[in-house]
Structure 1
Amino acid sequence: MNKINFTQTGGVPFTNNVAAEFEKAYSIFNAYGALAGDKTIISGCIENGDEVSEGFIYLNNELFYFEGGLKSDNIFLSEINIDKVFEDQTTKTLIKIRTLKFGNAIENVWDWSDFYRIKTIKELQEDLKDLQEKQVITEAKLAIFEPGYTVFPFFRPVNEVPPGFAPVWNIAGRTIVGLDPNDTDFDAIGKLFGSKTHQLTVDEMPRHRHGTNGNTAPNDSGVGNFANGSGSEVNTKLYSDYEGLDMPHNNVQPSIVANYIEWVGLN
């Protein structure tokens, strides 16, 4: 920033060039407004019912004083010229007072609703701290969304799988069972077991027997035997007729079909 040293002896010359330096000096403050962005309320402009207090607004790369007043839909740029008589006795505009105020004009009019209030640095720091804390929680929650970590049932066709996800085909036709380290059937992640159908073995059948009718006669030992119809007593094993078709039974619990998908990331 340039500096003007007025604290000197000998009579400091006050010229047009010196005045121009004044303008340069305070125009630098417009750079601070650029940090906030266009159409921002830098300070003041507090709404209280239908009234809005005075304040400062950054607009079109300039920092303006806002007069405040009765709130309306629009604000405009008010320009008031102050004329002075110069040394050559001509009257010229020396000062131009430019402020923003509520109302309408032919040009340089803006919607009041387009202006927004910036937060202080302290408020922004508090927001940043809150976001960082939330980010830690979010990252912890999203840690499971790695390829091969988690799958989701998706009740739409494969060609409608959203970007970033892909079908998981090694689960096709299967259900998912929780890990149980104490059960040899369920003691390893990714272990495959079970079948869609099952045919009972003899050991799996319920213990049962079938009755039949026949003639018996005692033998020498007094044990009853079935008679063969010829008068001779012999031990004879009788069988009932075969029943059943020896078909495997359905081994599937009530189910609903869906595509399984997993997060694979965006390219």
Structure 2
Amino acid sequence: MNRYDFTQPGGFPFDQGVMKFIQDCIGTAAQTAALAGPLAILSGCDAAGTSVSDGVVVINGEILPFVGGVKQTKVIIQENATTVVFQDNQPRVVKYVRAARFGDDGTTAMLWANFKRNTTEGVLARLDRVEGLLRPFAGVGGMVWWKGTKEAIPTGWREVEGWRGRLPMHYNPDDADFATVGAPGGSKTVTMALENLIEHDHEQYVSITDQTGTLIEDNRLSGGSGRGLWAKIFGRTAKTGSANPAPMKIVNPYITGMWIEPIPGTF
């Protein structure tokens, strides 16, 4: 950080240039206030009933004292200018004191509800926690589901092309099908085979009549005594289906999207 060494003896040449240098250094340091967000509470501003205490806030990167009072919906910035008489006997406005307070000037639209309090944890500690949560995306391995178009993928991210047309399956070391991370498997269709059918049979009925032409037992073959049967006709049912059956789709209802991942080295 820029600085002056005021410890040197001999009478320091203090002038307006020195004052501007100091003010610029303070302004540079104040830029860190932007880390708190556009509208933030740094300290104080404690609610007690319908009132809010004094405190310190950040408004669009500017650190300001907050003058407490009866809680209202909006916050304004109030600036008071002070005139000082210079050595040439000319008055000039040189001192500006700014503070935030409740109020509505008809122009400012800063809502008190939008001011976020900086926790005792601290901004950097909170950033560390966020970075920890995002660590799976720091290398190859983390990916997220994207429902937008490929052209709309955010800058720094890319489609995981190796996952096109595939669903994820959780790793299971006790199941050979799922014991290797990254191994593909499964099929979107299946063709039925004889070994896929459960064992079963079919009753077969033939029309048999006695000498009077009457059907015996509702079209069932009967061997009752004294009944002369004209014929015993047995046969096999005709074949149905296809010798080369078409595969059946086994895909559940779905909505198409894509997996995306950070491009290594971007973030």
- Under a length normalisation based on structure 1, what TM-score does the superposition of the two structures give? 0.54
Alignment of 1:54-133 (within 5 A): 54-119=54-119, 120=122, 121-126=124-129, 129=132
In the other structure, the counterpart of 2:35 is 35
Give, in whole Å, the separation in 2 of the partners of 1:115 and 1:105: 18
Contact 1:147 1:264 in 2 (8 A): no
How far is 1:47 from its partner?
2.9
Cα distance in structure 1, aligned partners of 2:168 and 2:66: 56
Count of aligned positions: 192
Q: Which moved more, 1:94-103 or 1:49-58?
A: 49-58
In structure 2, relative to structure 1, the CA distance for the partners of 1:46 and 1:131 (3 Å cut) is: farther
Query: Judging changes above 3 Å, is the alpha-carbon distance between structure 1 residues 146 and 17 closer, same or farther for their aligned structure 2 residues?
Result: same
The 8 Å contact of residues 75 and 109 in structure 2, kept in 1 or not, is answered as yes
Please point out which of 232, 252, 263 is paired with 1:260: 252
Does residue 223 of structure 2 align to residue 211 of structure 1?
A: yes
Q: Distance in 2 between matches of 1:17 and 1:86?
A: 16
Runs of at least 5 residues in structure 2 that lack an aligned partner in the other structure: 137-141, 146-162, 170-186, 205-220, 241-248, 261-267
Counterparts in 2 of 1:109 and 1:11: CA distance versus 1, 3 Å: farther
Structure (1 or 2) with the larger CA radius of gyration: 1
Q: CA deviation at 1:27?
A: 0.6
Q: Quick one: distance in 1 between partners of 2:133 and 2:2?
A: 41
Q: Does the Cα contact within 8 Å between 2:190 and 2:250 map onto a contact in 1?
A: no
**What is the TM-score normalised by the length of structure 2?**
0.54
Q: Secondary structure at the match of 1:43?
A: strand
For residue 20 of structure 1, report the CA deviation from its aligned partner: 0.8
Distance 1:99 1:47 in 2: 18
Measured against aligned partners, the alpha-carbon deviations of 1:2-55 in whole angstroms (never above 9, x if no partner) come to 211211222112211111112112111221012233223333333333222333
How many angstroms does 1:105 deviate by? 2.0
Per-residue CA deviations over 1:75-121 (Å, capped at 9, x if unaligned) read: 11111122222222233223110111111225445222232234523
Please, what is the CA RMSD of the aligned residues?
4.6
Structure 1: 5+ residue runs without aligned partners? 134-138, 152-167, 175-183, 186-192, 203-208, 216-227, 229-237, 250-256
8 Å CA contact retained: 1:82, 1:96: yes
Q: Deviations over 1:140-197 (max 9, x none)?
A: xx9xx9855579xxxxxxxxxxxxxxxx86159x8xxxxxxxxx95xxxxxxx239xx
Note closer, same or farther for the CA distance 1:210–1:150 as it changes in structure 2 (3 Å cut): farther
1:260 alignment partner, SS class: coil
Change (3 A) 1:131 1:22: closer
Distance across 1 between alignment mates of 2:235 and 2:55? 94
